[in-house]
A and B are shown apart, each in its own frame.
Chain A
Amino acid sequence: MGSKPDDDYDYLFKVVLIGDTGVGKSNLLSRFTRNEFCLESKSTIGVEFATRSIQVDNKTIKAQIWDTAGQERYRAITSAYYRGAVGALLVYDITKHESYVHVERWLKELRDHADSNIVIMLVGNKSDLRHLRTVNTEEASAFCEKESLSFIETSALESTNVELAFQQILTEIYNIVSKRAIDSGQDVAVQPTPGKIIEVKPVTTEEKKKSCC
């Protein structure tokens, strides 16, 4: 928490972290935002929030990340946070096949509650536990290709690919947003009002005039 003004960014993107309980969502977030890993972190109740700004294309992109509780019972609460999100990191644990199987269920959650144009990245976490792996990379990768999702494997513990995962999804969102801005003749560097979320609209289709939020 700092006294840094809240408005020193060019873009503000809301991103949600979702996935089964215990797959390491909170540690991915703390690794990305504070470079911390907590060996015995408590379970997340409801949602938790953190932010970090990164540079893409000489623009400051501020990510507002909402880390959600994984347990089914919290779904009614957490799904409210999908509203206005432009990106979702859908996390599973590479050592727990079940958490990978549930990815389909999570995708449905997103289809039901999030904006249809939300950028989704599938994240296989705990890649440091190679000897316990039960989900193979190729299988997950092929699934993502079929579903048009980005894919990455990470280790929050070893800090492998965590930065990259967030960089990639934020860049992807940025590209969509800035391309749309060019298409519509806007100034790409337009400053959004603090607190307002930029919505991702399809680059090609024009039919959806009203956004989800």
Chain B
Amino acid sequence: MSAQQTCSAGDNYQGNLDKSSTSSRPVSAVSNTSTVLNGVGTRLTSQQGTKTQPKSPGFCLKSVQGFLRGRSLPGTLRMNRSTSGGSWSTAKNNGSQTPAAPENQAISPVHRKPALDVEKIPETPPPDASARSCLQSPIPTEKRRPASSAAASNAASPLPGDSGDRQSMDSRREKFRRVLAAPTVDLDALRELAWNGVPADIRPAVWRLLLGYAPPNQDRQEEGLRRKREQYAGWVAQYFEENAEEHILKQIGLDVPRTSPGVPFFHRPELQRSLTRILYIRAIRNPASGYVQGINDLVTPFLRVFLSEVCDGDMDSWDVDSLPSEALGQVEADCYWCLAKMLDTIQDHYTFAQPGIQLSVYKLSELVRRIDEKIYNHLLDNNVEFLQFSFRWFNCLLLREFPFLLVDRLWDTYISEGDNFADFLVYACAAFLLTWSTKLLNMEFQDMIMFLQSPPTEHWTYDQVDTVMSKAFLWRAVFSHAQSHLK
């Protein structure tokens, strides 16, 4: 295992983001894309400004527009919905990608443990260096160099020339194409490639395969998917359309309208109905966990990625309501199955008392103690408990801590982790926490809690996600050989 190999995760496919999209964090409640109206007596007159919080499951935002229109409201009023003409690009365009990393053919990201020689693993970048790299101003995707990432990326970056970029991008894409074209897809090879990020246009197919939803055998794929989609439709008819359980629906109905408030297409009525059904069927099929708040967030990357197959143009302009019902039904079924497969590996995150999360929080604290005792003691001395800030990280798989447009990249790695995902997430959370260690060391209890509740990732790009993933990868390599501290 060389430094290059270990660090390759920091240097990979970027999917697509336009400049403005990389610099906003549309999903945050305190997002800088929010419309903020200040001061007492603010008058809400625009359509955009007349929406209010959901009040009941069947509550329609529009129904209160009239109610709020022209009213004076005190203080600051935040609306996370983007204004028209938003700038998020879709996942569908195959825009620029940064150069591909040298492939690590010897070690699959998932099965790398036995191959590791701990002695050869380089020092992880010092926390302050990584913090610096993560806090730098966003770099337009087109111009972005892997070198802007942590030291990890440098080691793996090929020549920075544009032709080099394109070449390695093409060669990487070619590798995906070759793996996907085989009569039976080699899932291990695909996993290894996908860990570092998947080109946006083939992401839906790759996710379906890696999650075990689409059969790897090409001949059976179509039939296999058709059957699964039918099965889902059958469940909708059986559980949802007849005798739906009110108390589950009520909770879901409260959360669906407040899912990804910054992303317009999630608020189209048809999509909200789809999301409701996905969550309901998932809850009914998994009575041990049922519906837990936050699972609604976890569907959003799937919806975005699978909708990109049937919607054209900018994500902001997706007219989900006009999609043929068959197309939307297919997207819905795919989202359901992929969500279900992903959650299968972390089932106990959502069962009574959420033991999976409690264990993960404990593992995180022990891991941080091992990696960076200084920050661990600092947290301890200030009475900051890991549960206080990391519960949501584990519950929503860090989704809420990243800008929405970067989450698909996060999901690429998660999905590639397969059965090791729960374990990897602990390392990912440690890497995320320690990104801020320099800052945290200068803070006291209150400031730390507030900071970790909404870490400033709104200007993050794929580079920073890669850095976090790389660090997680490194630390697992270093610490997984001695896991007694995590037991």
A interface list, Cβ under 8 A from B: 1-2, 6, 21-22, 24, 27, 31, 34-51, 64, 69, 71, 73-74, 76-77, 80, 93, 95-96, 126, 129, 132, 157-159, 194-195
Provide the bound-state CA to CA distance between A132 and B453, in Å. Answer: 34
Name 10 A/B residue pairs within 8 A (Cβ), A-sorted: A34-B76, A35-B76, A37-B77, A39-B78, A39-B80, A42-B259, A50-B450, A71-B251, A74-B354, A132-B55
**Are A74 and B293 touching (Cβ within 8 A)?**
yes
Q: How far is the CA of A95 from the CA of B294 in the complex (A)?
A: 24
Query: Whole-angstrom distance between the alpha carbons of A22 and B58 in the complex?
Result: 13
Q: Which of B240-278 contact A (CB under 8 A)?
A: 251, 254-255, 257-259, 261
- B450 contacts across to A, CB distance below 8 A: 1, 49-50
Contacts of B80 in A (CB 8 A): 38-41
Return the chain B residue nearest A77 by Cβ.
B391
With A40-B51, A71-B293 known as contacts, the answer to whether A35 contacts B446 (CB < 8 A) is no
**Which residues of A are found within 8 Å of B52, using beta-carbon distances?**
39, 157
Residues of chain B within 8 A of A159, CB atoms compared: 73-75
Q: Which of B7-15, B136-144, B392-400, B428-436 contacts A (4 or more CB under 8 A)?
A: B392-400
Interface residues of B in 54-101 (CB under 8 A from A): 54-56, 73-81
Q: Assuming the A-B contacts A43-B294, A95-B55, are A1 and B451 also in contact, with contact meaning beta carbons closer than 8 angstroms in the complex?
A: yes
Known contacts A40-B81, A49-B450; 7 further A-B pairs (Cβ under 8 A):
A27-B53, A36-B76, A38-B78, A40-B54, A49-B449, A74-B293, A93-B55
Nearest opposing residue in chain A for B262, CB measure: A40
Residues A46 and B76 in contact, CB atoms below 8 Å apart:
no
A21's nearest neighbour on chain B, judged by CB, is B254
Determine the distance from Cα of A38 to Cα of B52 in the docked complex, in whole angstroms.
8
Is B350 located at the chain interface by the 8 A CB criterion? yes
How far is A110 from B197 in the complex, measured between Cα atoms in Å? Answer: 47
| Residues in B whose Cβ lies below 8 Å from that of A27 | 53
Q: Which residues of A contact B383 (CB under 8 A)?
A: 195
- Is B391 a contact of A40 with CB atoms below 8 Å? no
Q: Closest chain B residue to A80 by CB distance?
A: B387
* B387, A77: Cβ atoms closer than 8 Å: yes
Provide the residues of chain B in CB contact with A40, threshold 8 Å.
51, 53-54, 79-81, 257-258, 261
Mark out the residues of chain B between 388 and 421 whose CB falls within 8 Å of any chain A CB in the assembled complex.
388, 391-392, 395-396, 400
Of the candidates A6, A22, A35, A48, the one whose C-beta lies within 8 Å of that of B453 is: A48
A22 and B251 alpha carbons, distance in the complex (Å): 9
Cβ contact within 8 Å between B293 and A43: yes
Residue of A whose beta carbon sits closest to that of B289 = A73
* Complex Cα gap A22–B59 (Å): 12
* Distance, CA A48 to CA B56, complexed state (A): 23
Q: Which A residues are in CB contact (< 8 Å) with B382?
A: 195
The answer for the CA separation of A26 and B447 in the assembled complex, in Å, is: 19
| Interface pair A158/B74, CB less than 8 Å apart | yes
Contacts of B74 in A (CB 8 A): 35, 158-159
CB pair A43 B255 closer than 8 Å: yes
What is the CB-to-nearest-CB distance from A160 to chain B, in angstroms, rounded to a whole number? 9
- Chain A residues contacting B73 (CB-CB under 8 Å) are 37, 157-159
B395-A37 in contact (CB<8A): no
In the bound complex, do residue A39 and residue B55 qualify as a contact, i.e. CB atoms below 8 Å apart?
no
Interface centre among B55, B257, B396 (most CB of A within 10 A): B55
Q: Contact: B51 with A39, CB < 8 Å? A: yes
Q: In the assembled complex, which residues on chain A have CB atoms less than 8 Å from the CB atom of B354?
A: 73-74, 76-77
Instruction: Choose among A39, A51, A126, A132 the residue with the greatest number of B CB atoms under 10 Å from its CB.
Output: A39
Separation in Å of the A84 CB from the closest CB of chain B? 10
Query: Which of B255, B350, B400 is in CB contact (< 8 Å) with A73?
Result: B350
Q: Are B53 and A73 in contact, with the CB atoms below 8 A?
A: no
CB-based contact B449/A46 at 8 Å? no
Closest CB of chain A to B385's CB: distance in Å? 9
- Chain B residue numbers with a CB within 8 Å of A73 are 290, 292-293, 350, 352, 354
| Chain B residues with CB under 8 A of A64 | 446
Checking A39, A45, A95, A157 against B293 with a beta-carbon cut-off of 8 angstroms, the contacting residue is A45
Decide if B53 touches A41 in the complex (CB within 8 Å).
yes
Judge whether A49 and B396 touch: CB under 8 Å: no
Closest A-B pairs by Cβ, 3 of them: A46-B391, A35-B75, A40-B261
Nearest CB on A from B430, distance (A)? 18
- Specify which chain A residues have a CB less than 8 angstroms from the CB of B296 in the assembled complex: 43
Q: Which residues of B contact A37 (CB under 8 A)?
A: 73, 75-78
Across the interface, A45 reaches (CB within 8 A) one of B51, B76, B396, B446, namely: B396
